[in-house]
Amino acid sequence: MRIAFFVNSVESETPGYTTTTLGLAATQRGHSVVYVEPGDFILRPDNSLAVNVAVLPDAPYKTPDKLYAALKDAAKQKKTFATNDIDILFLRNDPSLDATDRPWAANAGIMFGRLAAEQGVIVVNDPDGLAQAQSKLYLQTFPEAVRPATLISRSIAEIRAFIDKHAKGCIVKPLQGSGGKNVFHIATPADSNLNQIFEAASGDGYLIAQAYIPEA
């Protein structure tokens, strides 16, 4: 099969990323692997969808480092495929990384992923599911039994009152974003750094405060 991985950019990938490990596993199982970036899709006047891709050469890659080195070389000379020449498209980008500097790129995977799915490509993750998961607010749709007590607010007074109710402490972080950026564990409401934490974490909008679960 030909498997495509949609990423923010080939340049920002690393050998340690999960996508690189997935690509390595796919090549070791005999599949053809290509990488797609947000600006690579082409919707033609006849409504056919094509894509420019970095094609990994068929080779016995033994480590993620060797695969990533080959990927960087492949990205210098992309090839154009019709999407019906791709069997599976994995949407592996992080929209939050493009939201500020390249807002046009943030939803490219969702938009063109939908079109690819309509034209018969297996798309993972589901584009419609990803559209609903643009922030951590999505987690509030999960059953209460599988998520911690949560407050979402920009009111510092509300968040302080929430922290006061949880003797084991709380986690405070931005509602948007990923990768552990500006995630803080507040052990006690008396934490002397609370104001600095609020200032750092609220720069991107709403805050989410959750009861700390030591077992997690």
Q: Which one is predicted more confidently, 189 or 92?
A: 92
Average pLDDT (8-26) is 96
- Amino acid at position 168, single letter: K
DSSP single-letter state for residue 142: S
Q: Is the pLDDT of residue 204 over 70?
A: no
Residue 52: the pLDDT is: 97
Taking residues 200-210, report their average pLDDT. 82
pLDDT confidence of residue 119: 92
With H, G, I as helix, E, B as strand and everything else as coil, classify residue 159. Answer: helix
Cα dist from 129 to 14, 51, 92, 195, whole Å: 26, 22, 13, 35
Which residues contact residue 199 at a Cβ distance below 8 angstroms, ignoring those fewer than 6 apart? Answer: none
Residue 161 to residue 182: CA distance in whole angstroms:
21
Within 10 Å of residue 88's Cβ, how many Cβ atoms?
16
103 forms beta bridges with: none
Q: Which two tokens mark 182? A: 């500006």
Residue 32: predicted pLDDT: 97
Residue 77 has pLDDT above 70, yes or no: yes
Do residues 177 and 204 lie in contact, with contact meaning Cβ atoms separated by under 8 Å?
Answer: yes
pLDDT of residue 168: 85
Average pLDDT over every residue of 158-162: 90
List for the chain the helix, strand, coil content (%; round to 5). 35, 20, 40
Indicate the pairing of strand 32-36 with strand 2-6: parallel
180-198 per-position pLDDT tens digit? 678 888 887 666 677 778 8
Distance CA 190, CA 46 (A): 64
Q: Does domain 136-211 have CATH number 3.30.1490.20?
A: yes
Q: Residue 90 phi/psi, 5° resolution?
A: -95, 125
Bridge partner residues of 3 (DSSP): 33, 88
> What is the tens place of the pLDDT at every residue in 55-71?
999 998 999 999 999 99
Q: What is the pLDDT of residues 107-158, one digit of tens each?
A: 999 999 999 999 999 999 999 888 877 778 888 889 988 899 999 998 888 9
Residue 135: its pLDDT value, please? 78
What share of the chain has pLDDT > 90, as a percent?
61
Q: What is the CATH number of domain 2-133?
A: 3.40.50.20
pLDDT above 70 for 100: yes
Domain ranges of the chain: 2-133, 136-211
